[in-house]
């Protein structure tokens, strides 16, 4: 295998560093397919108005699919969920594109037109790849389908009843310190199923839970700051010099 045709595995490690990446332009599809589709994923998540908790799961679904798709053609690392079983001559680049596209299409069907246009442009840029693009596409699709099926029973759906915390036991001693809806919206707790959803790497959700303790005013301010979409918070604008 010629090294110039291999997908750089340093790119795969970049998947985990999503918070350091801004939504990248996808005009130059041939640069690095993994990074291209991280940018497309970021744009898709933001356009979909996805809340932070769901974003973390969706990003994991796409990232796991890309990793196992690429690693499954030339195994160098322990797979996450899908055992390597792809033809060695399959295009890793095509597999990365298809895995990301297929998963995003499942998660954001309303954005199918934009995703398909990006997908077709990405594949078109691979015309010089000496490996089998079609075999890469087939394998990438298989990986995305497999991971989506495996995680469909992880406890994320169906959604549980609304979480209201202290409501219903107000005035009782057990209400002290219990979460409660806060003004102005007084909305119910977000994503209560994440407390028991099957983790991606941990053995159980509470594996490293810390003992309870009070928090300082500074820590409270930090909690408010990170209340945005923590999985995809955009970097601060770069100031310009007149």
- What is the CATH number for 122? 1.20.144.10
Please report whether residue 116 resides in a domain. yes
Task: Reply yes or no on whether the pLDDT at 151 is more than 90.
Answer: yes
Say whether both 144 and 166 belong to one domain: no
Write out pLDDT tens, residues 172-194: 888 888 888 888 888 898 889 99
Say whether both 68 and 126 belong to one domain: yes
Query: Which pLDDT band holds residue 195 (cuts at 50, 70, 90)?
Result: confident
Say whether both 23 and 63 belong to one domain: yes
Say whether both 125 and 192 belong to one domain: no
Tally of domains within the chain: 2
Given this model, what pLDDT does residue 233 score? 63
Give residue 17's domain range.
Answer: 3-151
Given this model, what pLDDT does residue 171 score? 80
Say whether both 56 and 28 belong to one domain: yes
Write out pLDDT tens, residues 48-107: 999 888 999 999 999 999 999 999 999 999 999 999 999 999 999 999 999 999 999 999
Given this model, what pLDDT does residue 176 score? 83
Say whether both 145 and 178 belong to one domain: no
Strand partners, 189: 163
- As a dihedral over the C-alpha atoms of residue 111, residue 116, residue 121, residue 125, rounded to 10 degrees, the angle is 120
The residues, ordered by sequence, that sit 6+ positions from 177 with a Cβ below 8 Å of its Cβ are none
The pTM of this model reads 0.76
Cis upstream peptide for 184 (omega within 30°): yes
State the burial class of residue 211 (Cβ atoms within 10 Å of its Cβ: 0-12, 13-18, 19+).
Answer: exposed
Say whether both 146 and 166 belong to one domain: no
Say whether both 78 and 179 belong to one domain: no
Helix or strand or coil: residue 104? Answer: helix
Say whether both 56 and 171 belong to one domain: no
Say whether both 47 and 118 belong to one domain: yes
- Work out the mean pLDDT of the chain and round it to a whole number: 83
Task: Reply yes or no on whether the pLDDT at 17 is more than 70.
Answer: no
Q: Please, which contacts does 25-34 make with residues 24 or more away whose CB atoms are closer than 8 Å?
A: 26/118, 26/121, 26/122, 29/118, 29/121, 29/122, 29/124, 29/125, 30/125, 30/126, 32/8, 33/7, 33/93, 33/96, 33/97, 33/122, 34/7, 34/8, 34/66, 34/70, 34/96
Say whether both 176 and 144 belong to one domain: no
Given this model, what pLDDT does residue 198 score? 92
- Give the domain-ending residue among 129, 151, 173: 151
Please report whether residue 217 resides in a domain. no
Please report whether residue 102 resides in a domain. yes
- 29: tokens are 């599809």
């Amino acid at each position: 295998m010629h090294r110039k045709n291999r997908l750089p595995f340093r790119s795969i490690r970049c998947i985990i560093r999503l918070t350091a990446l801004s939504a990248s332009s996808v005009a130059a599809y041939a640069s690095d397919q993994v990074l291209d589709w991280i940018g497309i994923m970021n744009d898709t998540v933001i356009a979909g108005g996805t809340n932070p908790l769901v974003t973390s799961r969706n990003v994991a679904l796409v990232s796991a699919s890309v990793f196992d798709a690429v690693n499954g053609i030339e195994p160098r690392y322990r797979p996450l969920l899908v055992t390597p079983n792809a033809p060695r001559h399959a295009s890793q680049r095509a597999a990365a594109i298809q895995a990301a596209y297929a998963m995003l299409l499942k998660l954001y069907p309303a954005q199918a037109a934009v995703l398909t246009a990006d997908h077709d442009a990405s594949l078109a840029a691979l015309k010089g790849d000496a490996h089998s693009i079609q075999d890469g596409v087939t394998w990438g699709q298989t990986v995305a389908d497999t991971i989506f099926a495996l995680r469909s029973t992880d406890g994320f759906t169906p959604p549980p009843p609304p979480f209201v915390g202290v409501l219903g036991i107000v005035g009782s001693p057990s209400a002290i310190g219990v979460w409660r809806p806060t003004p102005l919206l007084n909305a119910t707790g977000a994503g209560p199923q994440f407390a028991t959803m099957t983790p991606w790497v941990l053995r159980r959700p509470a594996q490293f839970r810390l003992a309870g303790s009070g928090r300082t005013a500074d820590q409270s301010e930090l909690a408010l700051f990170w209340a945005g979409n923590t999985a995809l918070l955009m970097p601060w604008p770069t100031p310009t010099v007149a």
